[in-house]
């Protein structure tokens, strides 16, 4: 990815003093937070996503562009990390059962849907992603695709253990689990997201996908 001119070779005294601005925090962590805060400030101030450049972020954060480029190859990767920092964390699957792991995975989708409803920043960025396909592609590769692969692995495990019919397409079965959650969080953003929704969806789909006698 092409960097803006003059960024990579510049020294950055601002990063050296960033730690003193946030007492008790490592300097590198303080610099990253300053960069995130600057990007958020620009967006909340009305700057369109496509016009938020590395140069603007660096100037607002009080750091050199080299500080940003040491962490991210471009602004798409920076924004993906920013989104991940304000989204609910990726789920940790307990591994006790296929059903339990599916519930945890579907619950993570429900929580992300709630987060997008309650966070002005997330709502703002996701609504602008359609006009910024490069960021969407990066987010899809780094965040969405690993989650999809995790779901496929769970379906395969369920088939291997005899909990899910093995005569069905794995992708289709995974869509049956994720579809209702995505419908309510993306296509119908005003739909209810009850606390027990993930569990009810998983149980309903598993009931219909039990191996035939």
CA angle at residue 176 from 171 to 181, to 5 degrees? 120
Which residues make up the CATH 1.10.357.10 domain(s) of the chain? 89-208
Q: Which residues contact 210 (CB under 8 A, 6 or more apart)?
A: 163, 164, 165
CA angle at residue 195 from 190 to 201, to 5 degrees? 85
Confidence check: pLDDT of 64 > 90: yes
Helix, strand, or coil here: 20? helix
Mean pLDDT of the chain: 87
Q: What is the pLDDT of residue 20?
A: 40
Fold of 89-208: Tetracycline Repressor; domain 2 (1.10.357)
Confidence check: pLDDT of 107 > 90: yes
Confidence check: pLDDT of 139 > 60: yes
Q: How many other C-beta atoms are found inside a 10 Å radius of the C-beta of residue 135?
A: 22
Of the candidates 21, 112, 125, the one whose C-alpha atom is nearest the C-alpha of residue 80 is 125
Q: What is the pLDDT of residue 131?
A: 85
Rounded to an integer, the average pLDDT of 195-205 is 97
CA dist 213 and 195 (Å) reads 33
Asked if 70 contacts 77 with a C-beta cutoff of 8 angstroms, the reply is no
CA dist 41 and 21 (Å) reads 18
**DSSP label of 170:** H
pLDDT confidence band for 27 (50 / 70 / 90): low
More confident of the two residues 25 and 179: 179
Which residues make up the CATH 1.10.10 domain(s) of the chain? 13-71
Confidence check: pLDDT of 73 > 90: yes
Of the candidates 31, 121, 135, the one whose C-alpha atom is nearest the C-alpha of residue 78 is 135
Rounded to an integer, the average pLDDT of 101-118 is 95
CA dist 39 and 44 (Å) reads 9
Rounded to an integer, the average pLDDT of 28-40 is 92
Query: What is the domain class of 13-71 according to CATH?
Result: mainly alpha
Q: What is the pLDDT of residue 9?
A: 42
Lowest mean pLDDT among 18-27, 77-86, 143-152: 18-27
């Amino acid at each position: 990815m092409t960097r803006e001119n003059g960024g990579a070779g510049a020294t950055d005294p601002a990063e050296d003093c960033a730690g003193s601005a946030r007492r008790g925090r490592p300097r590198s962590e303080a610099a990253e937070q300053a960069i995130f805060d600057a990007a958020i400030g620009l967006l909340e101030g009305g700057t369109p996503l496509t016009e938020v450049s590395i140069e603007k972020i660096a100037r607002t954060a009080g750091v050199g562009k080299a500080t940003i480029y040491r962490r991210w190859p471009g602004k798409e990767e920076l924004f993906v990390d920013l989104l991940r920092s304000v989204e609910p964390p990726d789920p940790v699957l307990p591994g006790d059962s296929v059903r339990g792991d599916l519930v945890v995975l579907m619950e993570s989708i429900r929580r992300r849907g709630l987060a997008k409803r309650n966070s002005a920043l997330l709502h703002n960025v996701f609504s602008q992603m359609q006009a910024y396909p490069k960021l969407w592609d990066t987010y899809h590769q780094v965040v969405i695709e690993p989650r999809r692969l995790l779901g496929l692995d769970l379906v395969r495990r369920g088939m291997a253990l005899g909990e899910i019919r093995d005569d069905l397409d794995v992708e289709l079965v995974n869509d049956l689990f994720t579809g209702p959650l995505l419908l309510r969080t993306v296509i119908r953003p005003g739909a209810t997201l009850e606390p027990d929704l993930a569990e009810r969806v998983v149980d309903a789909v598993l009931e219909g996908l039990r191996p035939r006698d």
